[in-house]
Amino acid sequence: MLEEGEERYRLVGLHAVSHTGEKPRATVTLSIDGAEREVYSEGDGPVDAVFRAIEQEADSGAKLLLFSINAITTGTDSQAEVMVRLERDQRIVNGAGADTDIIVASAKAYLDALNTLGAAPRAHPQISGI
């Protein structure tokens, strides 16, 4: 397991394509444990294609429970904040990512959640060791 704050997964690059009448696709370059890997996938939309590509390499077995997008600044160049919630083995974690590109913010959020899933669970603050 990872120590708190360690990143096993990091986004290096992303190329997503979505055209009307064509299947959306994404090529994602990830750093996994320091080694770069490039993976390609198709999906129901560009975000789905990115998540599928990441899962192809991570093979986490996690289930996506929540996907949420919020604008955190104003205007057409607004920063988007994406929140995802993943579940694996009855453990639920959240991930967050921000970028002016919603697809990139989504990838960052998913990877943040995967890194949290790989970290040792934190003790509940209301449960004492006594």
Residues contacting residue 48 through CB under 8 Å, at least 6 positions apart: 24
**What pLDDT is attached to residue 74?**
86
Residue 129 belongs to a domain: no
Q: What is the DSSP string of 28-64?
A: EEEEETTEEEEEEEE-SSHHHHHHHHHHHHH----EE
Domain contains 98: yes
Q: What is the mean pLDDT of residues 116-125?
A: 73
Residue 2 lies in a domain: no
| 3-class secondary-structure state, position 25 | strand
CB 108 within 8 A of CB 115: no
In a domain, 56, yes or no: yes
Query: Which CATH number goes with the domain that contains 103?
Result: 3.30.160.270
Residue 3 belongs to a domain: no
Which run of H or of E encompasses 115? Answer: helix 102-118
- pLDDT digits 0-9 by tens, 58-97: 999 999 999 999 999 888 888 999 999 999 999 999 999 9
The pLDDT, as a whole number, for residue 73 is 85
- The strand pairing partners of 27, in sequence order, are 15, 40
Classify residue 36: in a domain, yes or no. Answer: yes
Please state, in angstroms and rounded to a whole number, the distance separating the CA atoms of residues 87 and 60: 10
In whole angstroms, give the CA distance from residue 23 to residue 25.
Answer: 6
Domain residues for the domain of 23 are 9-118
If one counts the domains in the chain, the total is 1
In a domain, 124, yes or no: no
Domain assignment present for residue 24? The answer is yes
For 47-59, write each residue's pLDDT tens digit: 999 999 999 999 9
